[in-house]
Amino acid sequence: MPSKVTIRTVARQAGVSVQTVSNVINAPHLVRPETREHVQAVIDQLGYRASQAARQMRSGRSRLIGVRIEPARDGINGNVLDRFLHELTEAAARAEFRIVLYTAADDTAEIQAYQDLLAAYSPDGFVLTSTHPGDPRPGWLLDKGVPFVTFGRPWGGPDRHPWVDVDGAAGTAAATEHLLSAGHRRIGFLGWPEGAGVADDRRNGWLSAMRAAGLDPTGLERHVEDGVTAGERMAAEMLAAPDPPTALVCASDSLALGAWNYVLATTGHYAPSPAARSSRTAANTRSRSTSGASRASRPAVIGFDDTPVARAVGLTTVAQPLAEVAQACIRLLTAALDGGDGASPEHVLLTPHLVVRNSA
């Protein structure tokens, strides 16, 4: 087995002192250019990697960032945070940090996970996801003086920490305006139960765009727990109404996929799920008389999150800039670790964009 390459190995091979090698790695501005180039060439030749443990002892940092793995949901919208974790891991690596993943069933369990991780691994900070009204996690970390950044706004909680978020209202407003420009006037909204920050944010974008166009949104919205089956069932109810919407803006791709399944089923293009068949029966007579199974009369559907499923089935949707979110999270957390500038914590609100496909 080859012997381990150490900083002393590099110093002997390069014919310089250990301190010079250390300076090349940690303070290259202190070393003459020709010496720095020579030592770096030896480092590359020997494949030397600085000891993370030694760096931690010098800097007092573990270079670790804790992030929770979100619980599995329907396999569609869970993909959003999966992609965010991928982008965050890459952004952290560029800043020479590593991500430590943990699971937690709820807020209380997550706070316990903070305590366990801080005791065992001393992570430098945390990135929190899925913020919500009444969220106790930011307050706990603030009280303990632990640096963190959230992917999500405080939603009425303490606004004393850095956060990064995506403007959901801007996304659903853009979706609604796209439908308005196509001639739709009865545009429905299929969202999550009210009272959650993200749910209300996405509803508000649809609502503001409808009101700005001088349209009455009364009776055009429904709220349901997230899921494909729920979206299909609720779309069946909405589209069977006496004066149904001609288009639907949905709070997620899961709801939109369910709604799109129902639309395709009632226009003769796709088989509905068993859960939607009973709802479809009540609407069959009206669907045949009004839709004619034609593409032109088929209700439009727009989702939110641009998941792989949306791309696969041609669903128009709103895409979140997850790479930018991840980069901003690492930048703000790094600034917090460095002590900041004494000003108020920075907040970053990013704008999503509409991806137009076959469904609208």
The predicted-structure confidence for 89-140, as pLDDT tens digits, reads as follows 999 999 889 999 999 999 999 999 999 999 888 899 999 999 999 999 999 9
Closest residue by Cα to residue 127 from 167, 75, 92 = 92
Model pTM score: 0.77
Domain pair 64-166+322-350 / 168-319, same fold: yes
Q: pLDDT class for 75, splitting at 50, 70, 90?
A: low
More confidently predicted of 6 and 214? 214
Q: Which residues contact 331 (CB under 8 A, 6 or more apart)?
A: none
Domain layout of the chain by residue ranges: 7-50, 64-166+322-350, 168-319
Q: Which tens digit of pLDDT belongs to each residue from 307-336?
A: 999 999 999 999 999 999 999 999 999 998
CATH architecture entry for 64-166+322-350: 3-Layer(aba) Sandwich (3.40)
CATH architecture entry for 168-319: 3-Layer(aba) Sandwich (3.40)
Q: What is the pLDDT of residue 257?
A: 95
Distance CA(128)–CA(34), nearest Å, equals 45
C-alpha dist (Å) from residue 125 to 4, 97, 157, 226, 331: 32, 11, 20, 31, 12
- 52 pLDDT higher than 70: no
Distance CA(326)–CA(313), nearest Å, equals 27
Report the topology of domain 7-50.
Answer: 434 Repressor (Amino-terminal Domain) (1.10.260)
User: Pairing relation of β-strands 316-319 and 353-355?
Assistant: antiparallel
Q: Which tens digit of pLDDT belongs to each residue from 272-283?
A: 444 444 444 444
Q: What is the pLDDT of residue 30?
A: 79
Q: What is the pLDDT of residue 58?
A: 52
Q: What is the pLDDT of residue 7?
A: 80
Q: In what order do the strands lie in the sheet with 64-69?
A: 98-103, 64-69, 125-129, 148-151, 163-166, 347-350
3-state SS string for 118-172: HHHCCCCEEEEECCCCCCCHHHHHHHHCCCEEEECCCCCCCCCCCEEEECHHHHH
Closest residue by Cα to residue 100 from 150, 92, 335 = 92
